[in-house]
Amino acid sequence: MTGPPVVILTGAGISAESGLGTFRDVGGLWSRYDWRDLATPEGFARDPGFVLDFYNWRRERVRAASPNAVHLALARLARDYGGPVTLITQNVDDLHERAGHAGVIHMHGTHLTALCAACGHRWPAPEVMHPRDPCPACAAAKTRPDVVWFGETPYHMDLIAEALAKAALFVSIGTSGTVYPAAAFAARARAAGARTVELNLEPSENKSLFDEAYHGPASEIVPRWVDSHLAD
């Protein structure tokens, strides 16, 4: 491991070309649904059936999707780069893993597990979650998706802080840069001395934080960027 440490942050834009909707683009999930109803603990407390139905539908969409050229290119980077690559994703799908990428940090959780809101136990997500499902550990009927909602603390923040502090290169891919704390990672990596690169369909909210930027569909710009980084 001799190459300088690389930290990559991915968002919904990298799974768009696998057919999974983003959140804030025109027609995105949060233009069709109210995130207060579907992505907050308060919304879940008000109407658990509605929230579970939404995530059952999204889980089904993820199951039917396949990794695209972006997931494959990033897995290739992790495999072939002669240095540490830390991949942090805001995505709750498992397309990085299905592309062969190991050790992905899912800061917003994952569709693959269910979480008991009463005792914190996790277990493999059933195909369909129902409000009456009992927790296998404590039997409470408080099953929820293991995804981080607004107002909750993202997962693995210590691991992420350590990676950002050591990064020589920080690359943000397919994210609008609007949701914190992820939106602050480019600034934190830069303050710690990293060069920063943005790969996105269009300039993000964070565009002033990047030393370099490439805009276009991720399936075109990411494999090209990976090739050039591996050739360096």
Tokens of 52: 């579970």
Instruction: Rank residues 213 and 218 by Cβ distance to ligand OAD and give the closer one.
Output: 218
The residues, any chain, with a CB within 8 Å of residue 204's CB and separated by 6 or more, are 172, 175, 176, 177, 198
CA triplet 25, 30, 34: central angle to 5 degrees?
165
- Looking at beta carbons only, is 81 or 214 nearer to ligand OAD? 214
Cβ 114 vs Cβ 145: under 8 Å:
yes
Residue 133 binds to ligand OAD (criterion: CB under 6 A):
no
44 binds ligand OAD (CB under 6 A): no
**Closest-approach residue to ligand OAD (CB):** 13
Of 149 and 185, which CB lies nearer to ligand OAD in the complex structure? 149
Instruction: Please give the order of strands across the beta sheet that includes 6-10.
Output: 105-106, 85-89, 6-10, 169-173, 195-200, 212-215
Of the candidate residues 108, 111, 142, 188, the single one contacting ligand OAD (CB under 6 A) = 108
Stretch that binds ligand OAD, among 48-56, 132-140, 162-170, 197-205 (CB under 6 A): 197-205
The residue count for binding ligand OAD (CB under 6 A) is: 26
Footprint of ligand OAD on 72-101 (CB under 6 A): 90
Q: Which of 42, 60, 162, 202 binds ligand OAD (CB under 6 A)?
A: 202
**Does 17 participate in binding ligand OAD (rule CB under 6 A)?**
yes
Two structure tokens written together for 224: 């090209």
166 exposure class (CB count in 10 Å sphere: 0-12, 13-18, 19+): middle
Look up tokens 């959140």; give the residue: 23
Strands 169-173 and 6-10, by their bridges, are parallel
Q: How far is the CB of 51 from ligand OAD (least distance, A)?
A: 12
Q: Does 200 bind ligand OAD (CB under 6 A)?
A: yes
Q: Is the bond into 181 cis (omega within 30 degrees of 0)?
A: yes
At residue 219, φ and ψ (nearest 5 deg) are: -65, -20
Q: How far is CA 132 from CA 41, 52, 143, in A?
A: 17, 11, 8
The nearest distance, CB 111 to ligand OAD, in angstroms, is 11
Site membership for ligand OAD, residue 15 (CB under 6 A): no
Extract the tokens encoding 143: 């099953």
Is residue 108 part of the annotated active site? The answer reads yes
Determine, following the binding rule CB under 6 A, whether residue 31 of this chain makes contact with ligand OAD. Answer: no
Q: Which of 108, 111, 130, 215 is catalytic?
A: 108
What does the binding site for ligand OAD look like in residue numbers (CB under 6 A)?
11-13, 16-17, 22-25, 28, 39, 90, 108, 148-149, 174-176, 178-179, 200-202, 204, 217-218
